[in-house]
Structure 1
Amino acid sequence: MDGTIGVILSGGQSRRMGRDKAGVMLAGRTLLDRMAAELAPLFGEVYVSVDRPGRYPGYRELADLRPGQGPLAGLEAAFLRTGAEAVFLAAVDLPFAGASLAARILAEAGAADACVIRRRSGEAEPLFALYRRGCLEPLTACLNEGRRAVKALLDRVDCRWLEEDDLPELDLERALWNVNTGAELCRAAEAAGEK
């Protein structure tokens, strides 16, 4: 999609993991390297959203304008620091989320401000999703109000909900498996075929 960039959210404080999630190794590559490799074929530019510059040499970094304010701050910086018309956000701690799922989200977005997967449980998956520039004003308002949850933004924009049942060919349990703790990393390593 022209004018769309990929932005990898680098994982914030990683308190539950106890170390920088982006640098965690899985199947011989860091989580950051895995996600960057998946997004690169789809987007002309792939950036890493960081709270402070200089964290990931060799990657194009987008430093938050509001460090410590979470994913919405990363999305705000992506729009304000680039000329992108749309941003595909991808959390670094989704080691099995790949290009096929991202491409499906792009294809299904239509003209909506955002395109987000909604699970059968009703839970949204806003950290592997597409956001258009029309989100900038409402997301800035959310941040100014101290509302940091992405759900606050989704309540204010035209969101194309991509229902889990619309994606029967994709294994969403695996693709959207979030790795936040050492125990979850061990399970992900087993799923990736590591001992």
Structure 2
Amino acid sequence: MGDVNQGLRVCLLSGGDSRRMGRDKALLPHPSGGVWLTALVDQLLPLGYPVQVLSRHREHAEVLGLRPGCSVLLEPPPWNGPLQALAKVLPPLPGEALLVLPVDMPRLRTAVFHQLIAAWNRAPEHAAVAHDGQRLQPLLAVIPSTSPFRSCLDQQLQRGELRWMDWLTRVPYRSVPLPAEALLNANCSADLSALEG
């Protein structure tokens, strides 16, 4: 499957503190082997784009080891959520874009990423944001680096506003229907049974 944009990068957000889960979600065992973090990276690498993992946890870099095509950026404090994390990794140059995703969607597969990238390629001046048929899944998206994406992001953070959805309402985006079962995520122990079912 040929994706047309050569300025695309990938960032897996893996720096949360997993308070509601009570343990590090990235290091939960994955049914296909390894842990959620390694399983997702192994689904991202076949896309052929540079993959970066953004995390505050040194253990994540150790678990990933030396995977060709994958790098780990250790996020310095303060840690104020995914929008601030996005500001650290959104490419600075016009004409580039970022496929961003959270570590707590362990059912994501390479084919789903291809679907999202293909939808973005049809309208690259908009962000392409995953939709599960019921609601947006805003942390799974392809985001251009051009204006107004970067400028709105910087302005919002300067005001101390940290909500991702607030930023998304200020930029042009299109929702992309994707298979709901692939977008299941887990925020607490009770959610794990749905993923295992």
TM range (shorter): 0.7 to 0.9
- SS at structure 2 position matched to 1:40: helix
Aligned amino acid, residue 191 of structure 2: E
Q: Provide the C-alpha distance between the structure 1 equivalents of 2:92 and 2:78, rounded to a whole number of angstroms.
A: 14
Q: Greater shift after overlay, 66-75 or 16-25?
A: 66-75
Paired-residue identity, %? 29
SS in 1 for 2:114: helix
The residue type paired with residue 40 of structure 1 is: L
1:129-161 CA-to-partner distances (Å, cap 9, x unmatched) read: 111102222111121112212112211212122
Aligned-pair Cα RMSD in Å:
2.4
State whether structure 2 residue 170 is matched by structure 1 residue 156: yes
Deviation larger for 76-85 or 111-120: 76-85
**CA 1:73–1:82 in 2, change beyond 3 Å: closer, same or farther?**
farther
Structure 1's 81 and 56: CA in aligned 2 closer, same or farther, altered over 3 A?
A: farther
Distance of aligned partners of 1:101 and 1:31 in 2 relative to their CA distance in 1, 3 Å threshold: same
Structure 2 gaps, min length 5: none
Q: How does 1:124-139 map to 2 (within 5 A)?
A: 124-134=136-146, 135-139=149-153
Tell me the CA shift for residue 7 of structure 1: 0.7
1:8-27 matches, within 5 Å, as 8-27=12-31
2:127 is equivalent to residue 114 of structure 1 = yes
Give, as a single letter, the amino acid of the residue that structure 2 aligns with 1:186. S
Superposition TM-score, scaled by structure 2 size: 0.81
Q: How does 1:150-189 map to 2 (within 5 A)?
A: 150-162=164-176, 164=177, 171-172=179-180, 174-189=181-196
Structure 1, unmatched stretches of 5+, are none
Secondary structure at 2:72's aligned position in 1?
Answer: strand
Q: How does 1:13-162 map to 2 (within 5 A)?
A: 13-27=17-31, 28-51=33-56, 55-57=60-62, 58=65, 60-64=71-75, 67-79=78-90, 85-109=96-120, 110-121=123-134, 123-134=135-146, 135-162=149-176
Three-state SS of the structure 1 residue aligned to 2:61 is: coil
Shift of 1:62: 2.3
Question: What's the TM-score once normalised by structure 1's chain length?
Answer: 0.82
